[in-house]
Structure 1
C-alpha cells in the first residue's frame, strides 16, 4: 500500500510502498479516507530537535484520520466492516493506576499513533478496537478526519464552565479556532481570540468570536475596553505555547479566573506567580482527550449544529503532500486535509 513515511533521519518525507498492516484478535483494520495534518507531523517532516528525540525511522506518520472498517479481529464484537470511524491516537497500557481507574488519558505509558508506532498517513491503518470511535451519526468526512485535534479543543474549552462567561483565547491556530467555536456554542458571553496573523483572525470572525485581536498592534486591555469588560476575563484558553501570551493572559484575568493550557512551550520561561496567587487564578494543563467522554461531547456538539467547516482551509490529494505540508506550515490558514481516495 502507499504510505507517507519518514524514511531517513533527515528533513523530508517519502511517499512509498509499505506492507499492509496485520491485525490481531482485538484489532481493527481501517481503509483510510481522509487525514488531517498536525503540528506534530510538521515537526517530524522538518526533523527538529523534538522529532530527533521522539521518532525512530522508518515511520508512517499521521494520527488524524477518518476511514472505513474493512476487517476486525476475532475478539471484536461491537465494530463491523463498513463502519465509518476515527481513531484515538493515544494508545495506553491498560494496566497502570490511571488506566485501571478509568483515567486512560493520564496513562504514563502512552504511545502516540504516527509517533511511537506506524500511523494513518497510508491507505490502511490498524488500531486496537478500544481506540476506535464509530461515527453513529452522519458527519462530514473532512470534519471526521480532524476529530483528534477537535478533541483537544473540546477538552480545553470545556475544562471549566462557560455559560455566561467572558473567555480569552490566545492563539488562533486550528485548535484555537475550534475552541472558539465550542466556547461560543457552549454559551460564553464574549469570546476574544488573539494572534498576529490577520488570515487566521479572519477565520476566527467566521466562527463567531466577539473580537479577533491582532496583538501586534493592540493589547488585550484594549480589547477589554472595546467590549466594556470591567474586571477581566473569567476563563482563559492558552493555545499558543508562547510566553508573552500566557503573561498577558494572566495579567488580564479576573480574580478567581481559570486558565486551561494546551499550548506547549518550546522552552521554560518565568511566570508572575505572585499575580496567580494573589488573584487566586487556577491553572490546568490539558493534553489530548478524555477517553472517551470528550469524543462523546464532540459528536453531540456537531449534532447540535456546531460548524467546523470554516476551520478547514486546505484540501489536497495525498500525492500532493508536499504542497499540503507547505500550506500547513505557512501559519496563515486553518486545518489542511489529505484525501486518500484521490
Structure 2
C-alpha cells in the first residue's frame, strides 16, 4: 500500500470512460472517494459517505511518481496556483470548512492547535473578518508564524494558564467561536470551558482516547452549537479554496517550511519529528 493523500500533478493518461479530464490538465485530488448511493451522498453530504474510500488508505496514494485516481475526485487547478500550494488544498480545505462553517465576521475566534491546519485556519479567520483571533499551541516557532498569518494573540499552553488568559481577554465572557484542531484531550476540555454561552464549538481534532466532558454545564446549560468537521464539503469547499488562492487573497505559503525531492522523503519524515523547526513539508517527484 502506497501512502500519501495530499498532492497535485499533471494528467498523463486517462481511461476510456473519462469525459471531463484530458492529458495535460493540472489537477489536485479530493481524498474522499464517495459511493454516491448512500443516504449522506444522496443528501448532498458526500464527504460523510457511509462507504467512503480514501486515497492513500484504501487505494494507492501519492508518495510516488504516478498515481491513479477516479475522475470524480480530480479537481482542475488554475495554472496560476504554484504546485506546492495546489498540493495542500486538501488540508487547506479542512481549515476553510472548519473555520467558515459558521459566520465569524466580527466575532472572537480561539483556535486550539498550531499544526499546519490550525495555522491555515488562522489565515482563513483573518480573511473572513474575525474581530479577534487567539491561537493556542505548544511550539514557539509556529506561534510566531501564527502572528504573521493574522493571529492577534498567541498562547503557549505549556507556559500560560490558557483558560484564565482567554477569559481575561474576552472580559470574562468567553470566545464567540472555538475551533479545536489539536485533538488533545486538554485542548478539547479547555475549548469547551472558554466558548461563551450561546457560542459555537467546532470539533476537528481527533483525540487519541475518550474524552470526559461536563455535558450538562459545558453544553446544555451553555446552549452552545457544536459542529463536527470531517473532510471538506464536495465541492463547495474546493470552490472557495481555489477562488481565494487564484485571486491571491489567502496567503499561506509561509506554512510550507521545507521542500524535498521525493527520494529524500526520509529527511521530511525526520523533520516532522522536530516540529519546533518545521510546519508543512512538500515533496517533489
Q: Compute the TM-score of the two structures, normalised by the length of structure 1.
A: 0.79
Secondary structure at the counterpart of residue 68 of structure 2: strand
- Pairwise CA RMSD: 1.4
1:298 counterpart = 2:225: no
Distance in 1 between the 2:275 and 2:201 partners?
A: 24
Shift of 1:228: 5.2
Query: Contact 1:220/1:252 (CA < 8 Å) preserved in 2?
Result: no
Distance in 1 between the 2:248 and 2:7 partners?
A: 22
Shift of 1:312: 0.6
Distance in 2 between the 1:153 and 1:295 partners?
A: 11
The verdict on how the C-alpha distance between 1:228 and 1:155 changes in structure 2, with shifts beyond 3 A counting, is: closer
Distance in 2 between the 1:242 and 1:139 partners?
A: 33
1:317 counterpart = 2:261: yes
Q: Compute the TM-score of the two structures, normalised by the length of structure 2.
A: 0.95
In the alignment, which residue of structure 2 is the partner of 1:28? none
* 1:97-108 alignment runs, 5 A limit: 97-108=39-50
In the alignment, which residue of structure 2 is the partner of 1:335? 280
Q: Which shifted more, 194-203 or 212-221?
A: 212-221
User: Deviations for 1:301-338, whole angstroms, at most 9, x for unmatched residues?
Assistant: 22251101111111111111111111123233211111
Where structure 1 has 5 or more consecutive residues not aligned to the other structure, the ranges are: 1-58
Q: Which shifted more, 98-107 or 116-125?
A: 98-107
Secondary structure at the counterpart of residue 69 of structure 2: strand
* 1:11-50 alignment runs, 5 A limit: none
Secondary structure at the counterpart of residue 337 of structure 1: strand
1:163 counterpart = 2:105: yes
User: Deviations for 1:8-28, whole angstroms, at most 9, x for unmatched residues?
Assistant: xxxxxxxxxxxxxxxxxxxxx
1:86 counterpart = 2:31: no
User: Deviations for 1:145-170, whole angstroms, at most 9, x for unmatched residues?
Assistant: 11111111111111111100100000
Shift of 1:74: 2.5
Where structure 2 has 5 or more consecutive residues not aligned to the other structure, the ranges are: none
Counting strand residues as a fraction of each chain, which structure ranks higher? 1
- Give the count of matched residue pairs: 282
Query: Contact 1:70/1:81 (CA < 8 Å) preserved in 2?
Result: yes
Shift of 1:79: 1.5
* 1:145-224 alignment runs, 5 A limit: 145-224=87-166
Distance in 1 between the 2:251 and 2:169 partners?
A: 25
Distance in 1 between the 2:273 and 2:103 partners?
A: 33
